Amino acid sequence: MNKAARTRQYIIEQVAPIFNKQGYAGTALSDIEIATGLTKGAIYGNFGNKDGLAIACFEYNIRPLQKGLIRALASPGTCVDKLKASINFYRTHFEEVAQSGGCPLMNTSVEADDTLPFLKKRVQESVLSWQGDISALLTNGQQAREIKNEINVRQYSVSIIAMIEGGILLAKAMDEANYFYKVLDTIEWTIERDLKISK
């Protein structure tokens, strides 16, 4: 990694947590300068402007969640086992996510909805990728006779994502992780009742 790439990575690592906690509008240039110890010219010289930095920080913030989910979905076992592993990933990492300011996908989605189209586009791409991963897993489960054929794959994929993100929202709003864990319990119950073929 050359010096320019190292500087760029350093800026992202220092600023990404601030964006996730304070949001795009709530993060001033002075916050970024203090966090990095660099001037405006040095910061924006690497990203063009605040928008470019915000995109890079969003991608940095969401990458650990994406990698964790990919690992869970690739874990050993049946498709049902893999789906439960992805739910368990959130269960075991919730405190870490909460301490870092919450789910970057949800945080960015709420702020970018009507005001930051360049970030909203990244959020949409991330949701579609996540939805695609779950849909593919459910479809594979149907083909393997582990998941009921009559279920609507897209409906359940979207619902699982909505329940996870909604659970995080409630837990953060109420300062009580149990709200989220109860939602995860409901998802697991739904998998057993509505999706899994009983043998």
Cα separation, 74 vs 83, whole angstroms: 10
Res 63: pLDDT = 95
Contact 158, 190 (CB under 8 A): no
- Fold held by 60-195: Tetracycline Repressor; domain 2 (1.10.357)
List the chain pLDDT tens, one digit each, 199 residues.
788 889 999 999 999 999 999 999 999 999 999 999 999 998 988 899 999 999 999 999 999 999 999 999 899 999 999 999 999 999 999 988 888 888 999 999 999 988 899 999 999 999 999 999 999 999 999 999 999 999 999 999 999 999 999 999 999 999 999 999 999 999 999 999 999 998 6
Domain boundaries of the chain, sorted by first residue: 60-195
Are the C-beta atoms of residues 125 and 55 closer than 8 Å to each other? no
- Is residue 122 within 8 A of residue 66, CB to CB? The reply is no
Closest C-alpha to 163, from 190, 197, 144: 190
Specify the pLDDT at position 113: 84
What is the spatial distance between Cα 156 and Cα 195, in angstroms, rounded to a whole number? Answer: 9
- What confidence score (pLDDT) does residue 4 get? 81
- What integer pLDDT is reported at residue 114 of this predicted model? 85
